[in-house]
Structure 1
Amino acid sequence: MVKNALQAQLLKAGLVDNKKAKKLTKQAHHEQRIGQSDEPAIKANIEKAQQEKLAKDQALNLEKQQQLEEKALKASIIQMIKHHKISNTEGDSVYQFIDEGKIKKVYIAQQVYNALVSGSLVIAKDQDQYAYLPKALAEKIDQKMQGFILMNNAEKNEQATDEEDPYAAYVIPDDLMW
């Protein structure tokens, strides 16, 4: 009846009686069955927790990857601006534009001024300064990421005027000096 050697030795020594040995054996059996019945639930919980952790880790990795891609895109745009900006633009003509809700004033050469007004050049943000870029490059930059191009007069020049506007014949020039 006794299943384990220690119980047999305790019975022979008289420290435990038959009844108590059966009770202990039955109790051990019962605990083993209960442990086995809970085991699948525990395994399911562990598996569920692992799946949740894996999904969370994948979401974090995806977010980090997107941040890295955005950072690389910004770096490439900044490099494009630095490489293609027009140099030697200082001059006496004043050009005003809006940057972050504030009116900015720059002194540029008359040729650059005329190109900005006509729309063939645009103003782009070059970190803490401003860069003057060709229209085609500005369109490529604007397609990749918004926020770098500050002033693009080509869009204003292409707007159609309202035919019913009584003042349509009176065009207000962009280069009007006050």
Structure 2
Amino acid sequence: MVKNALQAQLLKAGLVDNKKAKKLSKQAVHEQRTGQNDDAEIKAKIAQDKQDKMAKDQALEQEKKSILQEKELKAAIVQMIQQHKIKDVAGDVVYQFIDDSKIKKVYLQQQIYNALVSGSLVIAKDLDSYAYLPKALADRINEKMKGFIIVNNSEKNEQVTDEEDPYAAYVIPDDLMW
């Protein structure tokens, strides 16, 4: 009548009765038939899968947030450039600079040209063209994100000449015209 030794011992000790023993044996047979005896392993695997999925979802969400923040920062920088660029710069003086390994030529007013050469103005990328900005604004833009400022002559003017350079006394001006 009793199928395993543990149930027999529980019956002898009086801890369970015949009805309870039959119910437990039927439940054990049912669990064995349906595969519920590995419940703990399955639950642990499901919990681990949930944790993995949550970690993956959080990583994707973080990546999306960083991409969105980068887009917002670029838009803010473009807006700053649009608001603070110097307008009406067309003139007769030619200024040449390098952008993406290509030499670009722009015609500027003499005052703008002198400011570019001295480093008080910089050239920044403005969507499809170029914008002329004050150096202070260019420094703020460079702090936020690199890649917008194309020409910044103030950095060249601040460089210290090498003491061992034999031509250190012969400074070549940036505004040399050929």
TM-superposed deviation, 1:90: 0.1
**More displaced stretch, 26-35 vs 134-143:** 26-35
Percentage of identical aligned residues: 66
Q: Deviation string for 1:46-72 (max 9, x for gaps)?
A: 111111110000000000000111000
TM-superposed deviation, 1:95: 0.5
Tell me, what secondary structure is at the counterpart of 2:64? helix
Tell me, what secondary structure is at the counterpart of 1:122? strand
Alignment root-mean-square deviation, CA: 1.6
Corresponding position of 1:169: 169
Asked whether 1:130 is paired with 2:130, we answer yes
Corresponding position of 1:101: 101
Asked whether 1:144 is paired with 2:155, we answer no
Corresponding position of 2:158: 158
Structure 1 stretches of 4+ with a deviation exceeding 2 A read: 26-31, 33-37
- TM-score when normalising by structure 1: 0.82
Tell me, what secondary structure is at the counterpart of 1:88? coil
Corresponding position of 1:44: 44
Rounded to whole Å, the distance in 1 between the matches of 2:96 and 2:127 is 19
Tell me, what secondary structure is at the counterpart of 1:55? helix
Corresponding position of 1:115: 115
TM-superposed deviation, 1:37: 2.4
In structure 2, stretches of 5+ residues that fail to align are 2-24
Corresponding position of 1:30: 29
Tell me, what secondary structure is at the counterpart of 2:146? coil
Rounded to whole Å, the distance in 1 between the matches of 2:74 and 2:152 is 20
Q: Deviation string for 1:55-114 (max 9, x for gaps)?
A: 000000000000111000000000000000000000011101111111111111110000
- TM-score when normalising by structure 2: 0.82
Rounded to whole Å, the distance in 2 between the matches of 1:36 and 1:28 is 10
Asked whether 1:72 is paired with 2:72, we answer yes
Rounded to whole Å, the distance in 2 between the matches of 1:174 and 1:28 is 92
Corresponding position of 2:14: none
TM-superposed deviation, 1:28: 7.3
Q: Deviation string for 1:101-129 (max 9, x for gaps)?
A: 11111111110000000000000000100
What code does the residue aligned with 1:94 have? V
Corresponding position of 2:92: 92
In structure 1, stretches of 5+ residues that fail to align are 2-25
Q: Deviation string for 1:22-47 (max 9, x for gaps)?
A: xxxx7874342473420111111111
Rounded to whole Å, the distance in 2 between the matches of 1:29 and 1:63 is 48
